[in-house]
Structure 1
């Protein structure tokens, strides 16, 4: 009986290793991990796309600074005390990374559902217009005939993609204990966040294309490696204090 369990465990480990290797190979071949960096370059080279960001910059920075400052002030020492038991001297770093991640999640939950939703939508649609994909954008909103890529955006016809959902928050809480595993746990936590981030990056595009949920799910499953790679790099960039809002927009506009 014991040998049977061991064999099953070894078989499961080989399958997991094989799947992880396949996903890494797919991600490497697609080079999707470079897309967030390319998104920064594209965004900076198209000043018209800066308008939605500029309109939300001050309120977002006020929100993020308040959340980040409060998290470090009220939760750093308690979380450090817990992390020190499992991470030892590395707890100083892993606790800071954990709070950055927590602050990013809280800020995303508030801002993407209330503060930035319209601005991120305009950035995504405006990027499509800038790349002459007006036919796709016209499926979800009215378009003006003149102006730059943002000025041409008219009334929204289809409901914008949602921000951070309740399911995302539940998954975040479920994955949070991984940070108690030294180094490896924190890396796994960020990768899982990255996968969730990658799965949502094309929500608006799928909406504009009229894809049903079944087709979206199959597409994401078939391209899990590239989307996870993109999402992981995007997550890391959006954890950077203060600069996180810039990366939220550059990641939204890069597809």
Structure 2
């Protein structure tokens, strides 16, 4: 777990979260200790603001954002305050899977497939990482059903927040996470691993946030238990920037493991 924290800490400055259409909807993630400057890839990063953005106001319905992430579903999707913690587990959690210790085992251990029964997702998982500019890679646009695991986040089931992203759409139509916004508290997500283990995560909350105020600490902050973050784009599509204005973020906690 110590090494995972170190990897996440080194990769945090300048990290960009993948967007969905044509790979240009990306989000700049700053240091955890400050309000991050976040950009969707269409221009200079805006300065941090004390008040919500226009998109946030439309989503939240008020200037005062909720102190916690909502459950999603019929309650709708809204952003929470930047300093709000990840949502509490919806069901009892189980202990994380111990991280492998040898370099050879670490190189081989990875997530291989994600299943989300409610929204009919059954997709392979590739690996994504950051480039020299801090851009987090996206799955290939030629493979709309492919998801991407950020390789410097924990393997799903290990302690900490494991991050998997996916496109909401491509020029040819809907992609793997097209229905991600339909998830709600209590829904189940299954992630299979290369070592034969299968992990079940239960959704604890879901939010839609403006890319100009991405909740860096809530998504990437270290946790003692095993958690999962699913990220895609959402909201209004900006044709000029070829990018969606918002991100959809699903938070889930480990509730069962086998293998």
Task: Pick the structure with greater CA Rg.
Answer: 1
Q: TM-score, normalised by structure 2?
A: 0.31
Task: Name which structure has the greater RCO, CA cutoff 8 Å, separation 6+.
Answer: 1
More helix by proportion, 1 or 2? 1
TM-score normalised to structure 1 length: 0.32
